[in-house]
Each structure stands twice: as structure tokens, then as C-alpha cells.
Structure 1
Amino acid sequence: MRIVIMGTGPFAIPSCDRILSSGHTVSLVVTRPVVDPAAKKQPVRPVFSWAVEHGLQVFEPPSINSPEAIQRLKIEAADLFFVCDYGQILSAECLNASRLGGINLHGSLLPRHRGAAPVQWTILSGDPDAGATVILMNAKLDAGPAVSVVRTTILPDETSEHLESRLAILGAKCTEEAIEKLSAVSVIDSETIAGLGVQQDRLLITKAPRFSKQDGQLDFRLSANYLVRLVRACQPWPGTFAELAWRGSDKKMRLLIRSARAVEESSARPAGEAWQVTQSELDSWKVNELGESWPQAIAVSTGNGLLLIGRVQPAGRREMSVEEFLRGHALTNGGTFVLPASPVKQLVE
């Protein structure tokens, strides 16, 4: 088949590789343009770099739904559009510019987590499993029938960054399966759609909007389990943060919390109180069985349970283990993480 790829971010790359090696023709790669060419720091555009590396023709329209862009796509006479991590919603007119319309690889088990941040919301929601779904596209966001699905168990310490990388690789096989199914189709109609995929159950729809920087603020009045999910979901962006104040001192420091685990341990200490704990204490709580072994951690009392912090990044500095951090900033007398002036509402229960 003659395929047009539409993508911008890294999630699309494994599928792009799979399509290119499958024997189908990639006639054009459509990607988001640079907004400000004069800016010193340019956005990373992995799909653009991939297309250039493979000598493929690139098209960078400001709007994929403009008359000019649609006319350009019609000239391509593509059999199929493959859309992944692109950043724009295709109109019905745009989808009609190819013989079979388009398929989209989405980083969740649809209909859960429709939207721009499916992997982050999968982790934040505490889902036991994650997945990737290839849908036959329509003009609504992530709403078409599922043509191919893959499921995987989320690992105990897994962050959004790591899970997204895994799903991109697993999803590439879904992309290949969906394209092979469509290779046998001459036209897309209601009968064909019924045979190709499964309609999404509207009662199971959840939304996955993009996170903001403020969503990463930690409020230790919330439960340790929720805060750990938030830390994992927000890696690497927007990151989770809190301000640590040392007891008996005016010293304060803003920290990005890069790795955390929860212990269902009751504490009479007020929410936000922090102290350093040793490996023997960590071993007694069996937290090092969850992943990388921590020789030390910072324990924080929360609204329910203890939050254990294993890696931090002081403002303006590099990421480091808590063991390294405490060598220069010991919590000998303990400390307190400053609570937000107004309680932070959980993004999800």
C-alpha cells in the first residue's frame, strides 16, 4: 500500500520503522512545523529527523485541515494515513483524502484515557495494565473502532517515560497488524468497519488531558499511594516538586522528587514531616523489593501512609540519589516539606 505517515514525537518512531521495513511505500511524512525558527532552543522533532535520515519527502503544514494541506494530501493519492503522536486532529475532509482514511496508534487501552497524555493518566489512575490501541480514525478524538490492541502489566516502579518507550515498541506490532488487515480492504464502509474492529464502549470512556506544571505540586496531606503514582506519572515532565525546610534552621530548598515509594505504615507525625531512614529500615518495610535498591531514603508523613523518596533533583542542579543528597544536606534534626497554602485536589481517585 501507499502510506502517508503523520507524526511528530518519539512514540511514533518504532511504528515508522516497522512500516518502512514492511514492503509498503511511504510516499510522504507529515510533521508539525517549527513555530519559531529564530528561537535558540528548538523543539525535538524525532519524526522529522527520522524522515530526513531515510531520505523521505517531508510536509510541514501549520494546519493539516487547511484547504492547501488537504489538496497536497489528495495529490499523494495515498491508500492509508498512519497517524501517531502528531498533535493535530484530522477533519473528516482530511481523512477522506486517502482511499481508506487513517489509522491512529494511541498509548492506552481505549476507550480509557482518551486525550493527549494517556500514559501519564494510566499510571496516575493506578491501572494494573497499560496498552496500545490502533483505531480506524474518524473526526472525533480517539473515538474510532479498535483494529488491534496490545496489553502489558505495569511494573512497580515504572514511570511514564519508561512505560511510553515500552508501549511504542509493543504498539509497532499493532500498527503492522492493522495495516495488514486493511491491505485486504478495497473500500471503507459500515460493513467493512464492522469486520475490521470493535466499537468503543462509551460507558468506559475516561479523559487524559495534558498535564500542567502546577499538576506536579506535591501536597503531603494526600495519601502516599496517590503521591507515588503522581511522581511516577510526572516523570520526566512536568516533574513533581516540593519545598523542604530543615528543622532548627532557616535553610529551605526546592526539590524535584524523581523517585518515590509508599509504605502503608501509620504515623502520628503531621503531614509533611520528613526524616532520613537507613537501609535496614527500608529492608524491614520490603520497599527495596520493588526495584532498584536504595541505601537511604527520606521518609515523609502523609495523609495516609509514609512516602519514601529515593531520588531528588535540587533546583538548578542534576538529579541524584537521596544517599548522595544527604551527604551534603543531612536531615540530622529532621525537616518539613512545606504544604501548599490551599489543599491540592487529587486529579483522580
Structure 2
Amino acid sequence: MRIVMMGTGPFAVPTLEALIASDHEVVCLFTQPLRPTRGKRPAPPTPMRDVAQQHGLPIYDPESINTDEAREILRQQAADLLVVCDYGQILSRESLAEAKLGGINLHGSILPKYRGAAPVNWAIYNGDPETGITVIHMTPKLDGGPCLKVVRTPIGPTETAVELEPRLALLGVPAVLESIAMLEASDGETLVGEPQDPSLVSKAPRLKKTDADIDWTKSAQQIYNQFRAFQPWPGCYTHWSREGKPPLRLILAEISLEPEPAAAEPGTIISATGDQLRIAAEGGQIVVQKLQPAGKKIMEAAEFIRGYQPAAGERFVAESLL
């Protein structure tokens, strides 16, 4: 089968590598354009481009896949199937029609739950005990096509998005290959896969910087889930309310959950001794091992305690309350 791969992020890399190693013919890669960086920041990694270049695949990066020019390039590939994963663009009906069998999409959730750009993050944030991957036969409606394959997996109690996402990417490889085989064996008339139940749809919107702001009125478990979900970006931050000084913004770089409740208002520093900074939250405590004051480097809690001398009874507050 002649396949056009469409992907940008690292979640798509195992699928591309598996397709190249398969009996199918991957004819090219469509990916997002390279974006300029500000100042002296290094260019972000482009793992999909790297894999394509290593294997001599042509690379196309239109600003929009749905322009006449981009569709003409796609038409020239004479593809049987589009395989889409972590691409970052939504294909129109006309673009999907440029391949004989349309497209399949590998999505990082159990659809129809968590349609959208950040399914892995929101599953962890909401405390879901399990997640998975879904391969759908694509329609112009976002993540709305029939499900060809679903694979489920538990989410570990301390697993972060950084750890979960590559696990899901690997789970998706055999599911993609099996889905392609299902379409190859179809008669072209009968619906392949299971339709999604629209009553079960939930959204996984793109992450924003403000998602990192910690609301200390939430439970300790919810705060810990937020930290796990938003690694490496946007992370988690709070503000230290200091007597006689302006609040200090702190990025929490490493934390753990202590289920023992503390007799203090949420957000209150319980103790700041040794190598741990303990913060009260509903139903438990947040223990900070590493943090980063605004404008400074990441430091161990012990170093922060020695240098800044936080005191028990002082408060951490959400930016929205300042």
C-alpha cells in the first residue's frame, strides 16, 4: 500500500519507523513548517524530519494542508492511505479524498474521550485510572471517525505525561498496522470499525500557560495530578506570599504527594526544614523537593530553604488571587 505519513511531534516517530520497516511503501512525509525561535533559544527538535531524512523520504511542510497547492502535491503522491499522527493540522474533506482510502489517525486517548490536542495531559490531570490509544478512520470532523482499534493501559499513580506519552506511542504501532490490514481487507462499501458515541465526547484542548497556576483550594491529589499532567510544559507554579515583600513566583520542579492531612489552611507552609518544603492541601500535603524562584536557576529545596528562609505559617497563593 502506498502511504503518505503526516506527523510532526515525537508521538508519531514509532509509527513512521514501523511503516518504513513494513511491507508498505511510505512515499513521503508531510509535517509542520519549521518555526523561527526568539532570541538565542535553540530550534526545537524535529524528530519526524530526522527520521524521514535518514530514510531519504521527501518532506513537505505546507502552512496549510488544505490549500490548492498542498492538495496538488498530495495528489501527485497517488497514495492509497494517509496515516496521520501528532500532525497539528486538521484535514478537510477534499484533502482526505486525495488518498483512495482516506486517512487513519492514531490518537492518544480512548475516543470519544479527550478529543483534541492534549489527550495525554488531560487524562492525567483528571485523575483517570486508565487511558489508551485509538486508531480511527478519519472524517473531516475532529477525531470523529469510526474506531478501528482501541488499546487500553493503566496510568501509574506517579506517572507523568513525559513518561506516559512515549508508552502510548509504542502501543499505537501494532494498532496502526492492524488498522491498515483491516482497510486492505475491506470491500470499500461496508463500514469498518465502531462508530463513536457522541454522548461520551469530552475535550482535550491545547495547553495554556495559565494552566500551570496552582489553585490551593483543590485537593492534594488534584494538585499532584496537575503537576504530573503538565510536564514538561507548562509545568506548575505558585506565588509565595511574604511578609513585607512582594509575592515571589515559584516554579515547582519536583514534588511528591503525602496523603497525611495537615491541620492548616490549604497553601500554608507546614514546615521548611532540611531538604523538604511541605505545603498543606485538602486531604494531604505537597512535598517540594526542587523549585525555581523567578529569574533564578532550579534549586534543591534545601538550598532554597537556606537562602530564602521560608517560615511555617506563610502562604502559597494562586496568581489569580494576587
The answer to whether the 8 Å contact 1:277/1:299 transfers is yes
Please show how residues 74-85 of structure 1 align to structure 2 within 5 Å: 74-85=75-86
Structure 1 SS opposite 2:255: strand
The 2-side partners of 1:206 and 1:336 are apart by 35
Is structure 2 residue 268 aligned with structure 1 residue 273?
yes
Change (3 A) 1:319 1:133: farther
Q: What is the aligned partner in structure 2 of residue 64 from structure 1?
A: 65
Deviation of 1:65 after TM superposition, in Å, equals 0.6
- In structure 2, the partner of 1:32 is 32
Distance verdict in 2 for CA 1:319–1:54, change over 3 Å: farther
**Matching of residue 202 in structure 1 with residue 198 in structure 2:** yes
- 1:256 aligns with 251
Q: Does 1:232 align with 2:228?
A: yes
1:110-189 equivalent positions in 2, closer than 5 A: 110-185=111-186, 187=188, 189=189
Q: Which amino acid aligns with 1:91?
A: S
- Summarize the Cα distance change of 1:234–1:38 in structure 2 as closer, same or farther, 3 Å threshold: closer
Which residue matches 1:326? 305
SS of the equivalent of 2:279 reads: strand
Give the AA of the match of 1:7: G
Residue identity (%): 42
**Which position in structure 2 is the counterpart of 1:6?**
6
Alpha-carbon distance in 2 for matches of 1:39, 1:327: 34
State the distance in 1 between where 2:84 and 2:314 align. 49
Alignment correspondent of 2:237: 241
Q: How far apart are the structure 2 equivalents of 1:20 and 1:58?
A: 14
Question: Given that residues 272 and 310 in structure 2 are in contact (C-alpha distance below 8 angstroms), is that contact kept between their aligned partners in structure 1?
Answer: no
TM-score normalized by the length of structure 1: 0.84
TM-score by length of 2: 0.91
The answer to whether the Cα contact below 8 Å between 1:107 and 1:119 also exists between their aligned partners in 2 is yes
1:3-29: CA deviations, max 9, x gaps?
Answer: 000011111001111111112111011
- Say whether the 8 Å CA contact 2:268–2:312 is kept in structure 1: no
Name the count of aligned residue pairs: 321
Find the partner of 1:315 among 291, 294, 306.
294
Report the Cα distance in structure 2 between the residues aligned to 1:183 and 1:318, rounded to whole angstroms. Answer: 54
Separation in structure 2 between the aligned mates of residue 268 and residue 305 of structure 1, nearest angstrom:
10
Secondary structure of 2:238 counterpart = strand
Report the RMSD for the aligned CA atoms in angstroms. Answer: 2.4
Q: Shift of residue 179 of structure 1? A: 1.7
Query: Cα 1:152–1:324, aligned 2, differ >3 Å: closer, same or farther?
Result: farther
The 1:173–1:329 alpha-carbon spacing in structure 2 relative to 1, beyond 3 Å, is farther
Counterpart amino acid of 1:141? L
> How far apart, in 1, do the equivalents of 2:48 and 2:157 lie?
30
Instruction: State the alpha-carbon separation in 2 of the partners of residues 75 and 340 from structure 1.
Output: 52
Aligned mates of 2:162, 2:279 — CA distance in 1 = 25
Q: Which whole-Å CA distance do the structure 2 matches of 1:121 and 1:37 have between them?
A: 27
Q: Which amino acid is 1:24 matched to?
A: H
CA contact (8 A) 1:10 1:47 kept: yes
Residue equivalent to 1:217: 213
Question: Which position in structure 1 is the counterpart of 2:105?
Answer: 104
